[in-house]
């Protein structure tokens, strides 16, 4: 679940972009964020993903959030797993399945044993099943 309470944001020295936003998105539901250019859609998504902080309010998230930027040029050198920030979990899972029992791998994986399967399912869903993580 994603819960936004009283979220506001303004760029330093600028006007308020949005003020007192409250949103609840239930787990396993689909939602759309629609608006004109420059209204703060990408900024709100970055706040939800934890990439930037709101001016005020709280964000509560049950689960992992991944933000894929609209302009992807700064990610051209990354793998899909690196861009989605799941590369460390995938690496830890591979090490564990190879028989390595270092505690750091278990901590990194954090009981997310089906991360690779879920990731492949997501790529299939998005029509990107022929791409490797």
Give the pLDDT mean for 35-40: 86
- Start and end residues for every CATH 3.40.50.300 domain found in the chain: 2-61
How many Cβ atoms sit within 10 Å of the Cβ of residue 31? 10
At what angle are helices 87-97 and 115-125 packed, to 10 degrees? Answer: 130
Q: Is residue 73 very low, low, confident or very high in pLDDT (cuts 50, 70, 90)?
A: low
- pLDDT score recorded for residue 12: 82
Give the pLDDT mean for 25-49: 87
- pLDDT score recorded for residue 70: 65
The topology under which CATH files domain 2-61 is: Rossmann fold (3.40.50)
- pLDDT score recorded for residue 69: 67
Residue with tokens 């250019």: 37
Name the pTM for this structure.
0.58
């Amino acid at each position: 679940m994603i819960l936004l309470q009283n979220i506001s944001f303004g760029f330093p020295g600028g006007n308020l972009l949005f003020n007192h936003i409250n949103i609840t998105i239930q787990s396993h539901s689909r939602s759309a964020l629609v608006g004109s250019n420059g209204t703060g859609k990408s900024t709100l998504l970055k706040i939800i993903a934890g990439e930037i902080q709101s001016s005020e309010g709280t964000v509560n998230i049950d689960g992992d959030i991944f933000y894929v930027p609209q302009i992807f040029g700064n990610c051209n050198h990354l793998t899909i797993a690196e861009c989605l920030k799941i590369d460390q979990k995938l690496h830890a899972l591979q090490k564990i399945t190879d028989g390595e029992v270092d505690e750091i791998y278990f901590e990194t994986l954090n009981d997310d044993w089906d991360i690779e399967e879920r990731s492949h399912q997501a790529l299939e869903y998005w029509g990107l099943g022929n791409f490797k993580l």
